[in-house]
Structure 1
Amino acid sequence: MNEKIEYLPFGRPNFSSEEIDAVTRVMKSGWIGMGPETIAFEQELCVFLNVSNVVTVNSCTSALELSLLVSGIGPGDEVICPSLTWCSTANASLYLGAKPVFCDVDLKSLCITEQNIIEKITEKTKAVVVVHFGGYAIDVVSLRAKLPPEIVIIEDAAHAIGSRYLDGTPVGSSGNLTCFSFYANKNLSTGEGGAIALPNQEVADRLRSLRQHGLVSDAWKRFTHPKSILTAELMELGYKMNYNDLQASLGRVQLRRQGEFHQRRLDIAKLYCDELAGQEFGLSFQDDVLSEDHARHLFVVMLPLEHLNIDRNDFVIALRDRNVGAAIHYAPLHSMKFYRDLHDQPSLENTERLYEKILTLPISASMTIEQAKYVVSQFNSLIQECYK
């Protein structure tokens, strides 16, 4: 399969005629804001995640900020999080005046460990944001047992809808505030959007108010109930972070198709693990990437650079020249100027080692097996050319 194909991005959503029909139905309904579709989507997510409350918001970034806010995080507090993540994980703390404290990750799982976290705890530590990187589910039960009870655990599950903990229960059902993303390239995509899963009804009600300016009633109720109060009561300073029914109509269909999507990602990952060259001299993948409990939002490869005459960046560029949309997830946050300017950042050995050699290969529910075979052929050809 050496003939070039159309450029293949690392993650492309899978939309069928069913999603198009759902959006059309909502557009014809006369209401496209937050309303009955959003409520239905939240309820269906509760069933899928085995949790009593889900609150949708406009992004996972908002979900993280609101989760920290309702957990009492504010100025002067420290929040531990990995450096190998998207900037939202850290910025959610900064929005509230708190300080993100970066910690290292494990070389195989690419996730933070209990020991990484414990080493960073100070008297100012109020929360830990754990990231289920790529869809690998961290053992939050074990982590909870090792942390002081006053330290809150927030789960960044932007990559992890469909992932399962060690006991087989869905990520989102742990009892921690758990934040999901429905961004364009995610396993469940509604273009933009996010959600918070949690067991506590009182906290969920507060989150629903905060996403709508701090009002006690939402726009849908005011639109559909003539006897509702004409001017809603403002309870606290809130935000404009709500979801809407156009997105929710997409999400409801995408949720029903998660089994189909999960199988396609697994099939592609199996092909990659079976056929990518270079494993005999050190090419490796994230731990448990073929487990049924892994969501496989990302398929991460660690290049054996000691055996190659090319660096990681040039390898990624060469793959892109062959129309394979490889990507890098992520540049370490602690090495970025913005965070260095906030305060001194310590060296994080594993994160820095990983960053030099990680890349992400295309994987999505919209990919065909033939496209995955093309990725394999181009990767194998390139790594053989670069072998020294």
Structure 2
Amino acid sequence: MSGSNLPIPAARPVIGEAEIEAVVRVLRSGHVIQGPEVAAFEEEFSELVGDRACVAVNSGTSALQLSLMALGVGPGDEVVVPSFSFAATANAVRLVGAEPVFADITPGTYCLDPDAASAVIGPRTAALIPVHLYGHPAAMDRLMPLADRHGLAVVEDACQAHGAALHGQPVGTFGNAGCFSFYPTKNMHAIEGGMITTADPQLARTLRLLRNQGMERRYENEIVGANLRMTDVAAAVGRVQLQQLPDWTEQRRANAKVLDSRIEGLPVPQVADGARHVYHQYTVAVPDGRRDAVQQELTRQGIGSAVYYPTPIHRLKPFRDAAGPALPETDRAAAEVLSLPVHPSLGLGDLERIARAVSMAGGAR
């Protein structure tokens, strides 16, 4: 019940009757693997990304990996990535045999800092992976000219940013490829899945080969590929969710506006000039080592929250040997960030309760 004392979850994935009916329809059709539903989902998703070609795959991680593969990034190459992201961003680099080089983030937006990225570009650098973290677009207006000057490929990690934009241009339309995730907690989901967007028809064809054992026609393998296809079941769910994404996005943005106006004593999310933030996460900063205490108090009051991400990628065991400078803003963010509920099912009473609780807990010394 909105505004009651019932627990407020940090996220609430939607699986409604429309999604269930879509799944049943596909199962009854007998076409369950990369069939007409996948093709329709690709066509419909392209409207979100300026009519770019769309290639559906089985996860956001696969989207990143296949994009790098299709762009020829591999052993001996380096890829500049932010360390303040989910590990999948760097995992994809290692999975193609390349090495991640970590760069720092811009305070407030938590996205890749163009100056920090520029400082770590070297002779082996082949690509950049900016992450549109929490639903806020990275500074693509500065990162793309940087990539152009150095002849680098750009793969946008838009896994958290469906519908985000910078100066009116949708994320996923700046780089050579854009990668989206349809994991259940994302702003829209397909139970599981991913999508790659590109304006390059040849790159799109290569991606389709790579996801399907290297073949376009059965038993006519052209290159070495993998089995990273999306199922028609997942695509059917994605199509239903995609129809609801615009309304859900506006509700998230409205919810964020309420929280912005009600939270006191803590820095609320920053939005860069010209950025359209879609609030996959509503993330405040809790300084002075008080973050964990604030989160514990919210939990005591039945308000869900989460820390994305408590350990930067460069401090995770598989990446401690990776190249890169000290990352002070990354380390600061990991110690301070706290994501609050912002999902569309929240009512005004819920939002006021969240803001009141976090203001009181955050102001305690």
Fold-level similarity (TM above 0.5): yes
Q: Which residue of 2 aligns with 1:317?
A: 296
Q: Which residue of 1 aligns with 2:248?
A: 261
Q: How does 1:217-228 map to 2 (within 5 A)?
A: 217=217
Q: Which residue of 1 aligns with 2:271?
A: 288
Q: What is the identity, as a one-letter code, of the residue corresponding to 1:155?
A: E
Deviation sequence 1:239-294 (CA, Å, 0-9, x none): 1111011111111111111121012101210111111121xxxx112321898711
Q: What is the identity, as a one-letter code, of the residue corresponding to 2:179?
A: C
Quick one: structure 1 residues 290 and 274, their matched pair in 2 at CA, closer, same or farther if it must change by over 3 Å? farther
Q: Which residue of 1 aligns with 2:124?
A: 124
Structure 1 residue 316 displacement after superposition: 1.7
Alignment of 1:378 with 2:357, yes or no, is yes
Q: How does 1:239-254 map to 2 (within 5 A)?
A: 239-254=226-241
Q: Which residue of 1 aligns with 2:174?
A: 174
Confirm or deny: 8 A CA contact 1:2 1:378 kept in the other structure: no
Q: Which residue of 1 aligns with 2:330?
A: 351
Structure 1 residue 201 displacement after superposition: 1.4
Deviation sequence 1:315-339 (CA, Å, 0-9, x none): 2233223222211111211122321
Quick one: structure 1 residues 289 and 159, their matched pair in 2 at CA, closer, same or farther if it must change by over 3 Å? farther
Q: Which residue of 2 aligns with 1:47?
A: 47
Q: How does 1:54-93 map to 2 (within 5 A)?
A: 54-93=54-93
Q: 2:260 aligns with which of 270, 273, 281?
A: 273
Structure 1 residue 368 displacement after superposition: 3.0
Q: Measure the CA separation in 2 of the matches of 1:127 and 1:367.
A: 39
Q: What is the identity, as a one-letter code, of the residue corresponding to 2:55?
A: V
Secondary structure of 1:131's aligned partner: coil
Q: Which residue of 1 aligns with 2:347?
A: 368
Quick one: structure 1 residues 100 and 175, their matched pair in 2 at CA, closer, same or farther if it must change by over 3 Å? closer
Structure 1 residue 18 displacement after superposition: 2.0
Q: Which residue of 2 aligns with 1:334?
A: 314
Confirm or deny: 8 A CA contact 1:269 1:289 kept in the other structure: no
Secondary structure of 1:285's aligned partner: coil
Quick one: structure 1 residues 285 and 143, their matched pair in 2 at CA, closer, same or farther if it must change by over 3 Å? same
Quick one: structure 1 residues 262 and 356, their matched pair in 2 at CA, closer, same or farther if it must change by over 3 Å? same
Q: What is the identity, as a one-letter code, of the residue corresponding to 1:146?
A: L
Structure 1 residue 343 displacement after superposition: 4.0
Alignment of 1:232 with 2:232, yes or no, is no
Confirm or deny: 8 A CA contact 1:289 1:299 kept in the other structure: no
Q: Measure the CA separation in 2 of the matches of 1:284 and 1:347.
A: 24
Q: Which residue of 1 aligns with 2:104?
A: 104
Higher mean C-alpha deviation, range 317-326 or range 31-40? 317-326
Q: Measure the CA separation in 1 of the matches of 2:175 and 2:127.
A: 15
Secondary structure of 1:191's aligned partner: coil
Alignment of 1:158 with 2:141, yes or no, is no
Q: Which residue of 2 aligns with 1:5?
A: 6
What TM-score, normalized to structure 1? 0.88
Higher mean C-alpha deviation, range 366-375 or range 73-82? 366-375
Q: Measure the CA separation in 2 of the matches of 1:18 and 1:291.
A: 35
Confirm or deny: 8 A CA contact 1:73 1:96 kept in the other structure: yes
Deviation sequence 1:356-385 (CA, Å, 0-9, x none): 21111112123333322332232233234x
Structure 1 residue 12 displacement after superposition: 1.6
Quick one: structure 1 residues 318 and 291, their matched pair in 2 at CA, closer, same or farther if it must change by over 3 Å? farther
RMSD of the alignment, in Å?
Answer: 2.0
Secondary structure of 1:284's aligned partner: coil
Q: What is the identity, as a one-letter code, of the residue corresponding to 2:230?
A: Y
Confirm or deny: 8 A CA contact 2:26 2:236 kept in the other structure: yes
Q: Measure the CA separation in 2 of the matches of 1:345 and 1:327.
A: 27
Secondary structure of 1:109's aligned partner: coil
Secondary structure of 2:166's aligned partner: coil
